Amino acid sequence: MNRYKPRRMQSLLLLLLLLGGAPAGAQVFVQCKGDADGDAVPDAPNPNVVCKHLTAGDGFISMADDQAKHQYMFGFNDVTGLPESAVLSEGMLAANFPAPTIDVKQGQEFYLTVTNVGMAIRPDLFDPHTVHFHGFPQAAPVFDGMPEGSIAINQFASISYYYNLVEPGTYMYHCHVEATEHMQMGMLGNLYVRPAQDDTPLGSCSGGPCTQFAYNDGDGSTGYDVDFPIQIGSFDPDFHDASETIQPLPFALMKDRYAMLNGRGYPDTVNPGDLPSPENGDLNGGKISQRVGTLITANAGQKVLLRISNLNVTRMYTLASLGIPMKVVGHNARLMRGNDGKDLYYTTSSVTLGGGESVDVILDTTGVPPGTYFLYTTNLNYLSNDNEDYGGMMTEIVIGSGA
Amino acid sequence: MKTKNHRLARAATIPAGLLAWSLALPAGAEIRGLGGTTFNLSAKVDRIVTGEGGSYLLWGYANGNGRAQYPGPTLIVDEGDTITINLTNRFPASGTSAGQRVSILFPGQQNVTATCTAGTCTQGALALEAHPRVGSVYSTVSYSFVASQPGTYLYRSGTRPELQVEMGLTGAIIVRPSNFNPAAQTAYGDGRSAYDRETLFFLTEMDPRIHDTVEAAGVAGLAATDYLADYFPGYWFLNGRNAPDALGAAASILYPTQPYNCVPRMHPGEKLLVRVVGAGRDQHPYHHHGNHARIIARDGRLLESAPGAGVASGVNAGPDLSHEVFTIQSVPGGTVDAIFQWTGKDLGWDIYGHAASDPMEPAEWAPDHGKAFPLILPDLANLTFGGFWSGSPFLGQSGSLPPGEGGLNPTSGYVHMWHSHTEKEITNFDIFPGGMMTFLIVEPPGQAIDEIPPIP
């Protein structure tokens, strides 16, 4: 059943434009050092400045058990590079799950602009939004995005955040407005800060010394050949359906039934590309909303860094690797090293994370026979996509021969 | 028994419910409880209030013959002392809660002895249990142990714990190191656990179906349900209160059976000892906004590879196996001690809005002194304001706000949410916000933080 035809969406957009849904004075306003034209790209390349422009609004994704089965959601979309005048139309109904990956580097000044494009499917809502850079050290409330102690941006206007990036590691980000609702609805994304040590040859990787590292380890012990962000998440379809159909939200009865990695259940996780727009584009005008695959590929002998974070809102999950040991080198955006320099790395076959936790895991594939391995939750009932078994929180690790 | 600690807070008359957010600055980072070596507790029946205005049946431990409380009195004792806890069963003789035997377990303590000092007692599966009253005769069990190791612990019922702990029979124990000095506090005896202030975070949850069923039909009524096996909580607590009540004054008459609040406050540069107790049956990822914290101990033991190993002072102080986190993973029955510190280091702008020629504030991060604020904040018409927003991005300063906005942060502190990151748990049944949530307030230097002296 196609409840949302494109023409309905277009008429909605038209309505918003005609009725002047934006309050007087509202505006898209990008702040980015060295950027005069408002596209969130410094006009002259500057390695020490990175900018990003996200829109915050609503949208749709499709679920792994049935491409025709969609979930209404709130989320972010990346409009970096677009002129300010194009942002509202591009961002509307364009929510992504997970939110666009933020990949930045220690030593950079990071300017993040967020423009609230409103809720096209829920015009009765006038929710503001924020970005909470989860785990950012020494945070000040003005840029923490926690709305009770700071400010949140209203519809059709922009707020900018400034982060001086001095601590590398695996963080995450999410909207913090009405956190239980906006996070269950999907405003969640990967965020990591690469260390200053990158590009310094250290340690041993498959083709010689490593040049990429999880942390500033000083000895190359967190070096890797390839890296993948993996965000644990899960949805309660009853909550999303209630939101879509303007019903009271079931907070107390919330129980997630779609367990996912990077916004998809298996087997969609092993699709390395974008998923098609849900319901053939009927819902959101053909916008792509699931851009992050989780197919882990490497050649035997390579070191694979998994930047694992968890932003689900209902429970803890355990992720296990079958056949390849996991070496935990980072925890909560810190190198696992004691304050006297003692190495606290450990090797395991599983990691357990609650919402708001992260770990950095290295898979050393030296001596691993080429083939397909699995990264999956050992909360085995979540190897399912709602009522469909053999799915859920699982992906494949494909080790090639390198030939 | 020393009872010097339960003074009434001066702000005891603030209204209940959401108005508790407009806290008249209740006492700050401190841990209230009972000091001494002998504690006379009762197990009694009472009620608690929940953050959205609900009321539920409570089985709780009481100080003496006072009202039951949730959690039970926090017992603050000294390393090396012999601790005696006399537990009297004062459950009612009639009604749906009648007939319960009661007891206490002390996880983490060794060589606990128990004797029956009044009435009738029976050795249960886990503990010596005091029988319900017979006529006017109350039964008492006396438990005793040597508090041999400093740290953070809990106590709870050893009788039908799957039900009695859910109903409220649990509390915290803090063991001070034998060399404890209120003027130079440590959690474990040396500089690796030094701190300026401390706050208890006693994490619990409740399944309202269980409380309602017991109230209506007694324990027998549960037999017709799967509620104990299919546990599905609807309320989450910090020190026995949901948000926003956790921000209300301690010892308030508004919460007669929930005397403890949870309002960590500190100054920049100070060390806050965070004592997290997983006293319920679920895991909770407890996320503290603002900065990393260094986990120095679990279950009352320093994370050290050898006695004394680690760094004795400075920002990296801690035992050698300590590590920093932004979310404390709390597990059922476990405790975590962590040191939290905040200075605003390396933000890249001056948190006081100083000119370069202005004097430094205490603990200010010098390299950022005088650095300009990097961005233009949105027009007020385009913003939604948090109640704790002072109107200014600078610590200790306020700014323009539309009428009716802000107002909960009269000192213009930096307010950071500390909450369960299982975000479902920051609701009170179907109401957001609530649950396992409070706020840290980093107060401007010089702002007095009203707190009771530490109970030695």
Tell me whether residue A242 is in a domain.
yes
Among the partner residues A134, A140, A158, nearest to B347 by beta-carbon distance: A140
Mean pLDDT of B328-345: 98
pLDDT at A1: 37
pLDDT digits (tens, 9 = 90+) for B256-271: 999 999 999 999 999 9
Report which of A272, A285, A256, A281 is spatially closest to residue A355, judged by C-alpha positions. Answer: A256
B322 pLDDT more than 70: yes
Tens digits of residue pLDDT in B8-28:
333 333 334 444 444 444 456
Mark which residues 8-37 of A lie under 8 Å from B by CB: 23-27, 29, 31
Confidence of residue B454 (pLDDT cuts 50, 70, 90): confident
Chain A residues near residue B426 by CB distance under 8 angstroms: 179-180
Is A370 part of any domain? yes
Low-confidence ranges of chain A (pLDDT < 50): 1-24
pLDDT of residue B27: 52
A339 closest CB neighbour out of B310, B344, B382: B310
What tens digit of pLDDT does each residue of B88-130 get?
A: 999 999 999 999 999 999 999 999 999 999 999 999 999 999 9
Q: Identify the pLDDT of residue B456.
A: 76
Structural domain contains residue A1: no
Tell me if chain B has a CB within 8 Å of the CB of A150.
yes
Contact A333 B326 (CB under 8 A): yes
Q: Which residues of B touch A315 (CB under 8 A)?
A: 422
Residue B450: pLDDT band (50, 70, 90) is confident
Contact A342 B321 (CB under 8 A): yes
Please check whether residue A162 touches B, CB under 8 A.
yes
Alpha carbon of B16: minimum distance to chain A alpha carbons (Å)? 19
Contacts of A144 in chain B (CB under 8 A): 289-290, 416
- Residue A153 C-alpha, separation from nearest chain B C-alpha, in angstroms: 5
Domain that holds residue A94: 6-400
pLDDT in the model for residue B447: 95
Is A106 touching B (CB cutoff 8 A)? no
| pLDDT at position A386 | 95
Residues of chain A neighbouring B343 (CB-CB closer than 8 A): 138
Would you say domain B17-190 falls under CATH 3.30.70.20?
Answer: no
Mean model confidence pLDDT for chain B: 93
Domain-embedded: residue A183: yes
Q: Give residue-wise pLDDT tens across range A164-175.
A: 999 999 999 999
User: pLDDT value at position B154?
Assistant: 98
Residue A31 forms part of a structural domain: yes
pLDDT of residue B261: 97
Best mutation target among B289, B379, B411 (most A Cβ atoms within 10 Å) is B289
What pLDDT, on a 0 to 100 scale, did the predictor assign at position B452?
Answer: 80
Q: Are B174 and B146 in contact (CB under 8 A)?
A: no
CATH code for the domain of A65: 2.60.40.420
Question: Among A157, A314, A315, whose Cβ lies nearest the Cβ of B378?
Answer: A157
Please indicate whether, in this complex, the C-beta atoms of A140 and B414 are within 8 angstroms of each other. yes
Would A336 be classed as within a structural domain? yes
Task: Name the domain count of chain A.
Answer: 1
pLDDT value of position B455 = 81
pLDDT of residue A25: 57
Q: Establish whether the linkage from the previous residue to B264 is cis, with ω within 30° of 0.
A: no
pLDDT at position A68: 74
Report domain extents, chain B. 17-190
Q: Which residue of A has its CA nearest to B316?
A: A339
pLDDT of residue B17: 40
Task: Check whether B158 has a pLDDT greater than 70.
Answer: yes
